[in-house]
Amino acid sequence: MYYPKNFEYESPNILKEALDLLEKYQQDAKVLAGGQSLIPLMKLRVLSPKIVIDINKLSELSYIKEDDNYINIGALTRHNEVLESELLSRYAKALVDAAKNIADHAIRNMGTIGGNVCHSDPAADYLPVVLALEALLLTISNKGKRTLKADEFLMGPFETSLLPDELLLEIKIPKVKGRVGSSFLKFPYHQGDISLINVATLVKIDENKVVKDCRIAVGGILPKPERVKGAEDVIVGKKVEDKDIVEASKIASETLNPQSDWMASSEYRRALIATLVENSLNLSLERAGARI
Protein backbone atom coordinates (compact mmCIF):
# COMPACT_ATOMS: atom_id res chain seq x y z
CA MET A 1 0.00 0.00 0.00
CA TYR A 2 1.30 3.44 -0.96
CA TYR A 3 1.45 6.09 1.72
CA PRO A 4 2.91 9.58 1.56
CA LYS A 5 5.51 10.79 4.02
CA ASN A 6 3.85 12.76 6.75
CA PHE A 7 3.44 16.48 6.29
CA GLU A 8 1.90 19.48 7.94
CA TYR A 9 -1.54 20.26 6.60
CA GLU A 10 -3.01 23.74 6.28
CA SER A 11 -6.41 24.57 4.86
CA PRO A 12 -6.80 28.33 4.70
CA ASN A 13 -10.31 29.78 4.69
CA ILE A 14 -9.42 32.93 2.80
CA LEU A 15 -7.03 33.77 -0.02
CA LYS A 16 -4.89 36.12 2.10
CA GLU A 17 -4.20 33.30 4.54
CA ALA A 18 -3.04 31.05 1.68
CA LEU A 19 -0.72 33.76 0.38
CA ASP A 20 0.74 34.33 3.86
CA LEU A 21 1.45 30.60 4.13
CA LEU A 22 3.13 30.54 0.72
CA GLU A 23 5.22 33.56 1.66
CA LYS A 24 6.27 31.90 4.89
CA TYR A 25 7.04 28.42 3.61
CA GLN A 26 8.09 29.10 -0.02
CA GLN A 27 9.60 25.92 -1.60
CA ASP A 28 8.74 23.79 1.43
CA ALA A 29 5.04 24.14 0.63
CA LYS A 30 3.02 22.53 -2.11
CA VAL A 31 -0.44 23.78 -3.07
CA LEU A 32 -3.13 21.10 -3.07
CA ALA A 33 -6.05 21.82 -5.42
CA GLY A 34 -7.87 18.76 -6.81
CA GLY A 35 -4.93 16.56 -5.83
CA GLN A 36 -5.44 14.09 -8.68
CA SER A 37 -1.80 14.42 -9.76
CA LEU A 38 -0.23 15.61 -6.51
CA ILE A 39 -1.61 12.87 -4.26
CA PRO A 40 -0.47 9.96 -6.50
CA LEU A 41 2.98 11.57 -6.70
CA MET A 42 3.07 11.93 -2.91
CA LYS A 43 1.93 8.33 -2.49
CA LEU A 44 4.69 7.16 -4.80
CA ARG A 45 7.03 9.47 -2.81
CA VAL A 46 8.15 11.25 -5.94
CA LEU A 47 7.14 14.36 -4.01
CA SER A 48 7.31 14.72 -0.23
CA PRO A 49 6.44 18.31 0.63
CA LYS A 50 6.86 19.45 4.25
CA ILE A 51 3.73 21.56 4.12
CA VAL A 52 0.60 20.98 2.08
CA ILE A 53 -1.64 24.00 1.58
CA ASP A 54 -5.11 22.75 0.70
CA ILE A 55 -6.92 25.53 -1.20
CA ASN A 56 -10.21 23.66 -1.63
CA LYS A 57 -11.98 25.95 0.83
CA LEU A 58 -11.24 28.97 -1.35
CA SER A 59 -14.48 28.64 -3.31
CA GLU A 60 -14.02 32.20 -4.58
CA LEU A 61 -11.41 30.71 -6.94
CA SER A 62 -14.02 28.58 -8.69
CA TYR A 63 -15.90 30.43 -11.46
CA ILE A 64 -16.31 30.90 -15.20
CA LYS A 65 -17.21 34.52 -16.02
CA GLU A 66 -17.00 36.80 -19.01
CA ASP A 67 -16.15 40.45 -19.49
CA ASP A 68 -15.89 42.40 -22.75
CA ASN A 69 -12.62 40.87 -23.84
CA TYR A 70 -12.05 37.66 -21.89
CA ILE A 71 -13.58 34.53 -20.48
CA ASN A 72 -12.11 34.32 -16.99
CA ILE A 73 -11.75 30.93 -15.37
CA GLY A 74 -10.94 30.64 -11.67
CA ALA A 75 -7.97 28.35 -11.03
CA LEU A 76 -10.01 26.03 -8.79
CA THR A 77 -12.62 25.31 -11.48
CA ARG A 78 -13.04 21.52 -11.86
CA HIS A 79 -12.70 19.76 -15.23
CA ASN A 80 -16.39 18.79 -15.17
CA GLU A 81 -17.33 22.44 -14.68
CA VAL A 82 -15.19 23.38 -17.69
CA LEU A 83 -16.84 20.78 -19.88
CA GLU A 84 -20.38 21.74 -18.82
CA SER A 85 -19.83 25.47 -19.37
CA GLU A 86 -21.99 27.00 -22.12
CA LEU A 87 -19.82 30.09 -22.11
CA LEU A 88 -16.71 28.05 -22.89
CA SER A 89 -18.61 26.01 -25.45
CA ARG A 90 -19.33 29.26 -27.26
CA TYR A 91 -15.93 30.92 -26.99
CA ALA A 92 -13.37 28.21 -26.32
CA LYS A 93 -14.60 24.92 -27.69
CA ALA A 94 -11.06 23.52 -27.68
CA LEU A 95 -10.93 23.84 -23.90
CA VAL A 96 -14.21 21.93 -23.56
CA ASP A 97 -12.88 19.22 -25.90
CA ALA A 98 -9.80 18.91 -23.68
CA ALA A 99 -11.79 18.73 -20.42
CA LYS A 100 -14.03 16.03 -21.89
CA ASN A 101 -11.07 13.80 -22.54
CA ILE A 102 -9.31 14.07 -19.20
CA ALA A 103 -9.28 10.75 -17.32
CA ASP A 104 -12.80 9.82 -16.15
CA HIS A 105 -15.85 11.33 -14.45
CA ALA A 106 -14.66 10.88 -10.85
CA ILE A 107 -11.23 12.41 -11.53
CA ARG A 108 -12.89 15.29 -13.38
CA ASN A 109 -15.04 16.03 -10.33
CA MET A 110 -11.88 16.77 -8.31
CA GLY A 111 -9.16 17.82 -10.77
CA THR A 112 -8.87 21.54 -11.50
CA ILE A 113 -7.82 23.56 -14.51
CA GLY A 114 -5.35 25.57 -12.43
CA GLY A 115 -3.79 22.45 -10.97
CA ASN A 116 -3.44 20.86 -14.37
CA VAL A 117 -1.69 23.91 -15.86
CA CYS A 118 0.58 24.45 -12.82
CA HIS A 119 1.53 20.77 -12.64
CA SER A 120 2.56 21.26 -16.26
CA ASP A 121 2.99 17.67 -17.33
CA PRO A 122 4.26 18.08 -20.93
CA ALA A 123 1.42 15.80 -22.08
CA ALA A 124 -1.30 17.63 -20.09
CA ASP A 125 -4.33 18.30 -22.25
CA TYR A 126 -4.96 21.94 -21.39
CA LEU A 127 -1.44 23.05 -22.33
CA PRO A 128 -1.71 23.12 -26.15
CA VAL A 129 -5.16 24.69 -25.69
CA VAL A 130 -3.92 27.63 -23.61
CA LEU A 131 -1.17 28.14 -26.22
CA ALA A 132 -3.56 28.03 -29.18
CA LEU A 133 -6.13 30.28 -27.48
CA GLU A 134 -3.31 32.63 -26.38
CA ALA A 135 -4.55 32.51 -22.81
CA LEU A 136 -3.18 34.75 -20.09
CA LEU A 137 -2.37 33.46 -16.63
CA LEU A 138 -3.03 35.74 -13.71
CA THR A 139 -0.94 35.01 -10.61
CA ILE A 140 -1.06 36.52 -7.14
CA SER A 141 1.26 36.76 -4.15
CA ASN A 142 1.61 39.17 -1.25
CA LYS A 143 3.82 41.24 -3.55
CA GLY A 144 1.03 41.72 -6.08
CA LYS A 145 -0.45 40.29 -9.26
CA ARG A 146 1.27 39.30 -12.50
CA THR A 147 -0.21 38.50 -15.88
CA LEU A 148 1.78 36.07 -17.99
CA LYS A 149 1.27 34.80 -21.51
CA ALA A 150 0.81 31.04 -21.71
CA ASP A 151 4.16 30.57 -23.46
CA GLU A 152 5.91 32.61 -20.75
CA PHE A 153 4.24 30.56 -18.04
CA LEU A 154 5.09 27.11 -19.43
CA MET A 155 8.82 26.54 -18.97
CA GLY A 156 9.39 22.82 -19.44
CA PRO A 157 8.44 19.41 -18.05
CA PHE A 158 6.68 20.01 -14.71
CA GLU A 159 8.12 23.52 -14.63
CA THR A 160 6.39 26.89 -14.80
CA SER A 161 7.45 30.46 -14.13
CA LEU A 162 5.20 30.56 -11.05
CA LEU A 163 7.30 31.82 -8.13
CA PRO A 164 7.38 29.87 -4.84
CA ASP A 165 5.19 32.44 -3.06
CA GLU A 166 2.71 32.77 -5.94
CA LEU A 167 -0.65 31.18 -6.55
CA LEU A 168 -2.34 30.90 -9.94
CA LEU A 169 -5.55 32.89 -9.62
CA GLU A 170 -7.19 32.89 -13.01
CA ILE A 171 -6.88 31.78 -16.61
CA LYS A 172 -8.00 34.43 -19.07
CA ILE A 173 -9.11 33.29 -22.52
CA PRO A 174 -9.28 36.18 -25.00
CA LYS A 175 -12.54 36.35 -26.93
CA VAL A 176 -11.73 36.22 -30.63
CA LYS A 177 -14.53 38.09 -32.37
CA GLY A 178 -15.97 37.02 -35.71
CA ARG A 179 -16.17 33.63 -37.39
CA VAL A 180 -13.91 31.52 -35.22
CA GLY A 181 -13.57 27.82 -34.55
CA SER A 182 -11.26 25.95 -32.23
CA SER A 183 -10.78 22.31 -31.39
CA PHE A 184 -8.63 19.87 -29.45
CA LEU A 185 -7.79 16.28 -30.29
CA LYS A 186 -5.62 13.74 -28.55
CA PHE A 187 -4.31 10.25 -28.98
CA PRO A 188 -4.02 8.63 -25.56
CA TYR A 189 -1.95 5.60 -24.61
CA HIS A 190 -5.30 4.02 -23.88
CA GLN A 191 -8.76 5.48 -23.17
CA GLY A 192 -8.66 8.01 -20.35
CA ASP A 193 -4.89 7.86 -20.16
CA ILE A 194 -2.10 10.30 -20.87
CA SER A 195 -1.74 11.71 -24.40
CA LEU A 196 1.00 10.46 -26.67
CA ILE A 197 0.27 13.56 -28.73
CA ASN A 198 -2.38 16.23 -28.31
CA VAL A 199 -3.19 19.10 -30.63
CA ALA A 200 -5.20 22.30 -30.34
CA THR A 201 -6.00 24.60 -33.24
CA LEU A 202 -7.90 27.83 -33.75
CA VAL A 203 -8.99 29.26 -37.09
CA LYS A 204 -10.62 32.59 -37.84
CA ILE A 205 -12.14 33.30 -41.26
CA ASP A 206 -13.68 36.37 -42.91
CA GLU A 207 -16.99 36.52 -44.80
CA ASN A 208 -15.28 35.13 -47.93
CA LYS A 209 -13.93 32.21 -45.92
CA VAL A 210 -10.38 33.50 -46.20
CA VAL A 211 -8.38 32.53 -43.11
CA LYS A 212 -7.39 35.58 -41.08
CA ASP A 213 -5.80 33.84 -38.12
CA CYS A 214 -4.58 30.31 -37.54
CA ARG A 215 -2.95 28.82 -34.48
CA ILE A 216 -1.62 25.31 -34.15
CA ALA A 217 -0.22 23.99 -30.87
CA VAL A 218 1.12 20.51 -30.25
CA GLY A 219 1.66 18.81 -26.89
CA GLY A 220 2.95 15.46 -25.69
CA ILE A 221 6.42 16.45 -26.86
CA LEU A 222 9.46 17.39 -24.81
CA PRO A 223 10.39 19.72 -23.27
CA LYS A 224 6.98 21.40 -23.59
CA PRO A 225 4.04 21.97 -25.94
CA GLU A 226 4.78 24.31 -28.83
CA ARG A 227 3.10 26.48 -31.45
CA VAL A 228 4.10 25.61 -35.02
CA LYS A 229 4.46 28.93 -36.83
CA GLY A 230 5.55 27.40 -40.14
CA ALA A 231 2.38 25.34 -40.36
CA GLU A 232 0.17 28.25 -39.33
CA ASP A 233 1.62 30.40 -42.15
CA VAL A 234 0.48 27.86 -44.76
CA ILE A 235 -3.13 28.33 -43.67
CA VAL A 236 -3.33 32.11 -43.16
CA GLY A 237 -4.37 34.47 -45.98
CA LYS A 238 -6.19 32.06 -48.23
CA LYS A 239 -9.38 30.14 -48.74
CA VAL A 240 -8.09 26.87 -47.42
CA GLU A 241 -8.22 23.72 -49.51
CA ASP A 242 -7.57 20.15 -48.42
CA LYS A 243 -4.05 20.21 -49.87
CA ASP A 244 -3.15 23.21 -47.66
CA ILE A 245 -4.27 21.35 -44.57
CA VAL A 246 -2.22 18.32 -45.56
CA GLU A 247 0.76 20.61 -46.22
CA ALA A 248 0.38 22.31 -42.81
CA SER A 249 0.16 19.00 -40.97
CA LYS A 250 3.21 17.73 -42.84
CA ILE A 251 5.18 20.83 -41.83
CA ALA A 252 4.08 20.40 -38.19
CA SER A 253 5.22 16.79 -38.10
CA GLU A 254 8.56 17.63 -39.75
CA THR A 255 9.30 20.76 -37.69
CA LEU A 256 8.77 19.18 -34.30
CA ASN A 257 11.10 16.60 -32.89
CA PRO A 258 9.06 14.34 -30.61
CA GLN A 259 10.82 11.99 -28.21
CA SER A 260 10.84 8.22 -28.19
CA ASP A 261 9.90 6.55 -24.93
CA TRP A 262 8.36 3.31 -23.68
CA MET A 263 4.93 4.37 -24.94
CA ALA A 264 5.76 5.35 -28.51
CA SER A 265 8.65 5.99 -30.89
CA SER A 266 9.49 9.40 -32.29
CA GLU A 267 8.33 8.26 -35.74
CA TYR A 268 5.00 7.13 -34.36
CA ARG A 269 4.50 10.45 -32.61
CA ARG A 270 5.35 12.31 -35.84
CA ALA A 271 2.67 10.36 -37.67
CA LEU A 272 0.22 11.22 -34.89
CA ILE A 273 1.11 14.91 -35.14
CA ALA A 274 0.33 14.91 -38.88
CA THR A 275 -3.00 13.14 -38.41
CA LEU A 276 -4.16 15.12 -35.39
CA VAL A 277 -3.18 18.52 -36.86
CA GLU A 278 -5.06 17.67 -40.06
CA ASN A 279 -8.17 16.50 -38.21
CA SER A 280 -8.13 19.35 -35.72
CA LEU A 281 -7.75 21.98 -38.47
CA ASN A 282 -10.67 20.45 -40.35
CA LEU A 283 -12.80 20.46 -37.20
CA SER A 284 -11.89 24.06 -36.33
CA LEU A 285 -12.66 25.19 -39.90
CA GLU A 286 -15.99 23.38 -39.74
CA ARG A 287 -16.80 25.07 -36.42
CA ALA A 288 -15.84 28.47 -37.87
CA GLY A 289 -18.36 27.84 -40.64
CA ALA A 290 -15.86 27.45 -43.48
CA ARG A 291 -17.48 24.25 -44.70
CA ILE A 292 -21.01 25.59 -45.05
161 in Cβ contact with 19 (< 8 Å)? no
C-alpha span between 230 and 245 (Å, rounded): 12
167 in Cβ contact with 19 (< 8 Å)? yes
Pairing verdict, β 64-66 and 70-74: antiparallel
290 in Cβ contact with 209 (< 8 Å)? yes
Binding mask 80-109 for another protein (x = CB under 8 A): -----------------------xxxxx-x
Instruction: Supply the minimum distance, in Å, between the C-beta of residue 43 and another protein.
Output: 6
- Report if residue 194 touches another protein, rule: CB under 8 A: no
- Report if residue 76 touches another protein, rule: CB under 8 A: no
User: Contact region for another protein (CB under 8 A) — 41-49, 86-94, 180-188, 278-286?
Assistant: 41-49
User: With contacts defined by CB under 8 A, how many residues of the chain interact with another protein?
Assistant: 30
C-alpha span between 221 and 123 (Å, rounded): 7
Instruction: Supply the minimum distance, in Å, between the C-beta of residue 123 and another protein.
Output: 16
- Report if residue 44 touches another protein, rule: CB under 8 A: yes
C-alpha neighbours within 13 Å on the C-beta side of residue 171 = 30
User: Contact region for another protein (CB under 8 A) — 33-41, 69-77, 153-161, 220-228?
Assistant: 33-41
Nearer to another protein, 54 or 247 (CB): 54
Nearer to another protein, 106 or 163 (CB): 106
Nearer to another protein, 36 or 253 (CB): 36
- Report if residue 36 touches another protein, rule: CB under 8 A: yes
Quick one: which of 28, 40, 142, 222 contacts another protein (CB under 8 A)?
40
- Report if residue 5 touches another protein, rule: CB under 8 A: yes
Distance (Å) of CA 217 to CA 132, 173, 180, 220, 251: 6, 15, 16, 10, 13
Quick one: which of 1, 27, 243, 262 contacts another protein (CB under 8 A)?
1
Instruction: Supply the minimum distance, in Å, between the C-beta of residue 78 and another protein.
Output: 9
